[in-house]
Amino acid sequence: MINLDGITIKEFRGVRELSIAPNRKSFVVSGPNGSGKSGVVDAIEFALTGDVSRLSGKGTAGLSVATHGPHVTKRDDPAAAAVTLDIFVPSENKTVKLTRSVKKPKVAVIEPKDEKLRAVLERVAAHPEITLSRRDIIRYVIIEPTERSRQVQTLLKLDGIGQLRATLKTASNRAATAHNTAKTAAAAARESLKRHVDLEKLDSDEVLLVVNRNRAILGLAALSEMKADTHVLQGAATDATFATFNKESSLRDIAALTEQTATISDRVREPLDRVREILSQLSAEPDLLDRIRRRAFVEEGLTFVDAATCPLCDSAWPDIDALRAHLQEKLAKAAAAEAIEAELLDNAARIAVEARQLALSVNAVVPLLRGEAWVAFADEVSTWNSHLDGLGRGLDSVDEIVARSDVLAGDWLAPPPDLTARLDALAAEVAALPDQTASANAQTFLALLQDRLDASRRARRAALAAELTASRAALAYKTFCEVSEHGLRSLYDTVEEDFAAFYRAINSDDEAGFKAKLEVSDGKLDLSVDFHGQGMFPPGAYHSEGHQDGMGVCLYLALMKQVLGDDFRLAVLDDVVMSVDRDHRRQFCRLLKTQFPNTQFIITTHDLVWARQMRTEGVVDAKGGVNFHGWSVATGPVCEELSEIWVDIETDLAKNDVPAAASRLRRHMEYVTSELADELGARVRYKGDGNYDLGDMLSPVIRRQGDLLGLAAKAAGSWGNESEVELVRDLKEKRSAILTRHGDENWILNKAVHFNDWAQFSRADFEPIVAVLKDLLLLFRCSTCDSWLRVLPKLGDPESLKCDCGAISLNLKPKKTS
């Protein structure tokens, strides 16, 4: 997606002011612990995402970017803390400047204001995993499988897949419930129709016979067939209104209601008993009910998480991942409650179906309750009908069921008093009515048939539509599961393959046959690895810490390759292979160079040997790095960057700030001379307290350099290597000239003068010291690659004096004479 050209940090974390220029290439930031390297990583992450993972997530309670992002001396001035990145966007072939300040961390100011560039940067912001610390890599390796699955899915941006799967499952369940309801209504309507025509079976030919028999009585022509849109009174006067009371049919409706009321208790006994048991359990264990309620609540809440504020309680969280993890943990704890909830809902649904069917039967009888004598009963039946309807529709959730606990525990059916007797009386009254004339009977029969046909057709259409929707919803869920599992399986297969190949590449000497297995099951992601052909084990079982670090980085790289593909153009690795030994780090350098040639790596390390390895292996070029050699609250990281340090000192002196310049120069010289003493093998007088100052090291280093150049001259002469003789002579002449100037200023460099006294000098006194020391250090450095010269081998007789790039490589071993 992007490469970094430049990074400018102001008053952010441990950095006061710092500019580094990776120039779209890999870059190493080296320095001892506490020198401010991670501040650079934090700054890049902050600029890109508006967040600093070190200040958020688990174990960071009380920390925040707003409060702890600014430098400690600027903690009340968040506007002073800002990071600017000069960014190259390869896809657009354009550069863009991105600035973000702690005062407005969510606002990325970009210049130029280009929507395409902004879109790219927004995509980058969605990938905080571009920065990786050692703490992060442990997340992928030494972690239990469920958490690994979550971390990896978050990294792969797959959390939406789980979310969509859950939504489709809920949709499928709801569609199935709606289908069941519609089916019940259709069956009841069909039953009502069947009862009316008084047939054993609703066969269209038999219905046609009944219809035509009644039509004949009315003098209407026979219908040839019963079709989906047939009107059984077709041909009757179009303005006629038809009564729908039909004596025989009404008697059958009353009988049906009587029979249903008498038998319903048997049909619901089993589900009702189970519902009652569960309701008793919930009553005895309020915590169980809470867990069920919270589960539904949390499940719903999870779908609304789109920021670091909880959608359920408005609590602020350090970041969105931490909030999601918290809610998912709650869901996992409610797993047992989920089974009880499912059983309760299933049994309640069976009761609801019976209640709805009974309500439909009641509906058919209500119109018969006419006349003064039935007013009171009609009211009671109407109330009962509402009660049944309420049960039929109101047992869909745990809370609804619990709210009806008393009803379900007691006389749940609650029929009107003496229902059977009163229905018998109603039936007797209807039966006592004079028989309808044949014509009236036929007319009311057909009118009521048409009503019930219409109702049945509507209900059937609704049921068929609901069935189709339910089958689609079920198929959608099943298909999504299959497609996503296939997609994830093939993705994890690729990750597994890449991971093992990367790991083998950096451990070819001792684990050339390394294999790995990533297995997905039930929301878990198991990682097992081969241990020297002895079997597959969890990564933490037998492998050393260094090997585990290697695995973490390899798995990260394999995942990033999948996440971003060709867009994996930038990664910031914060001291991630600190436990990997030197030889394996060299292989790691080669892995980065060969497998990720288009990725810009910004790598921090406290290990100067590895920083150098990255140069010699070509991961970073000669100027692709900066070394921090000190840190203080006042200055932030002190860089060993040749041009910068002298510019900074000149700036201090221009402001007549000799104390600042002196402090900078002293720190720099102490650092460089200690490095050179080590690299050149200078003989420094041992001090028990290990407290060496500039005066202890400068002279031994200069002496050692003279000795080494003497060896080089002798060796070149013995081999007859004229060009090297010439080169050494040139170096010695330069050295001599500088040392003469050095001697002139020796009073000020003399050990007798404590270097802290520099701060008392005037600018005029101090400037010559700066100049001579600057030139002196140039003698120890390659002008091509800026690396310090060093002697090889480090132990034993010196054989060569060389720089990192090989531009300087002086032989120190003279030809043996016989």
Residues at the interface with another protein (CB under 8 A): 156-161, 163-164, 167-168, 170-171, 174-175, 178, 204, 226-229, 303-304, 306, 457, 460-461, 464-465, 468-469, 471-473, 475-476, 479-480, 482-484, 486-488, 491, 562-563, 565
Cα 24 to Cα 158: distance, rounded to the nearest angstrom:
30
**Residue closer to another protein, measured from CB, 140 or 628:** 140
**Residue closer to another protein, measured from CB, 175 or 344:** 175
Tokens of 362: 């009641």
Q: Answer whether 30's CB lies under 8 Å from 628's CB.
A: yes
Residues 6+ apart with CB under 8 A from 495: 518, 555, 558, 559, 562
Find the shortest distance in angstroms from Cβ 735 to another protein. Answer: 59
Length of the chain: 818
**Residue closer to another protein, measured from CB, 122 or 482:** 482
**Residue closer to another protein, measured from CB, 480 or 761:** 480
Q: Answer whether 125's CB lies under 8 Å from 108's CB.
A: yes
Find the shortest distance in angstroms from Cβ 504 to another protein. Answer: 25
Backbone angles phi, psi at 750, to 5 degrees: -60, 140
Query: Which neighbouring-strand residues pair with 18?
Result: 9
Find the shortest distance in angstroms from Cβ 187 to another protein. Answer: 14
**Residue closer to another protein, measured from CB, 144 or 399:** 399
Q: Quick one: which of 559, 622, 547 has its CA closest to 587?
A: 547
**Residue closer to another protein, measured from CB, 136 or 159:** 159
Tokens of 668: 């720099």
Cα 161 to Cα 642: distance, rounded to the nearest angstrom:
51
Find the shortest distance in angstroms from Cβ 119 to another protein. Answer: 14
Q: Quick one: which of 177, 195, 194, 188 has its CA closest to 356?
A: 188
Find the shortest distance in angstroms from Cβ 782 to another protein. Answer: 44
**Residue closer to another protein, measured from CB, 226 or 725:** 226
Q: Answer whether 525's CB lies under 8 Å from 145's CB.
A: yes
**Residue closer to another protein, measured from CB, 269 or 461:** 461
**Residue closer to another protein, measured from CB, 79 or 475:** 475
Residues 6+ apart with CB under 8 A from 83: 7, 8, 9, 10, 12, 43, 44, 46, 47, 99, 100
Q: Answer whether 530's CB lies under 8 Å from 539's CB.
A: no
**Residue closer to another protein, measured from CB, 303 or 437:** 303
Expressed in angstroms, the distance from the first to the final Cα of the chain is: 64
Find the shortest distance in angstroms from Cβ 233 to another protein. Answer: 17
Cα 291 to the center of its chain, rounded Å? 26
**Residue closer to another protein, measured from CB, 43 or 182:** 182
DSSP type of residue 128: G
**Residue closer to another protein, measured from CB, 262 or 481:** 481
Cα 8 to Cα 47: distance, rounded to the nearest angstrom:
10
Find the shortest distance in angstroms from Cβ 371 to another protein. Answer: 37
For 502, the enclosing helix (H) or strand (E) is: helix 438-506
Tokens of 382: 């109407």
Find the shortest distance in angstroms from Cβ 169 to another protein. Answer: 8
Tokens of 731: 């170096």
Q: Quick one: which of 575, 661, 715, 723 has its CA closest to 37?
A: 575
**Residue closer to another protein, measured from CB, 157 or 751:** 157
Find the shortest distance in angstroms from Cβ 303 to another protein. Answer: 6
Find the shortest distance in angstroms from Cβ 486 to another protein. Answer: 8
Cα 136 to Cα 12: distance, rounded to the nearest angstrom:
22
Find the shortest distance in angstroms from Cβ 202 to another protein. Answer: 10
Find the shortest distance in angstroms from Cβ 189 to another protein. Answer: 12
Q: Is the peptide bond before 417 cis (omega within 30 degrees of 0)?
A: no
Cα 729 to the center of its chain, rounded Å? 62
**Residue closer to another protein, measured from CB, 327 or 808:** 327
Find the shortest distance in angstroms from Cβ 231 to another protein. Answer: 12
**Residue closer to another protein, measured from CB, 58 or 461:** 461
Tokens of 203: 């066969």
Q: Quick one: which of 118, 79, 77, 73 has its CA closest to 101?
A: 79
Find the shortest distance in angstroms from Cβ 230 to another protein. Answer: 8
Q: Answer whether 530's CB lies under 8 Å from 507's CB.
A: no
Q: Strand 800-802: give its sheet, edge to edge.
A: 790-792, 800-802, 809-811
Find the shortest distance in angstroms from Cβ 715 to another protein. Answer: 59
Cα 464 to Cα 458: distance, rounded to the nearest angstrom:
10
Tokens of 798: 């010196």
**Residue closer to another protein, measured from CB, 169 or 586:** 169
**Residue closer to another protein, measured from CB, 229 or 406:** 229
Cα 746 to Cα 734: distance, rounded to the nearest angstrom:
18
* Residue 498 burial by Cβ neighbours in a 10 Å radius (0-12, 13-18, 19+): buried
Angle at 48 between CA 46 and CA 50, to 5 degrees: 45
Find the shortest distance in angstroms from Cβ 454 to another protein. Answer: 10
**Residue closer to another protein, measured from CB, 304 or 537:** 304
Cα 323 to Cα 311: distance, rounded to the nearest angstrom:
10
Angle at 739 between CA 735 and CA 744, to 5 degrees: 155
Cα 704 to Cα 533: distance, rounded to the nearest angstrom:
51
Cα 652 to Cα 634: distance, rounded to the nearest angstrom:
14
622-635 as b/e, with b when 16 or more CB fall inside 10 Å?
bbbbbbbbbbeeeb
- DSSP H helices, 198-319, are 204-217, 247-284, 286-304
Find the shortest distance in angstroms from Cβ 319 to another protein. Answer: 18
Find the shortest distance in angstroms from Cβ 467 to another protein. Answer: 11
Angle at 613 between CA 610 and CA 614, to 5 degrees: 90
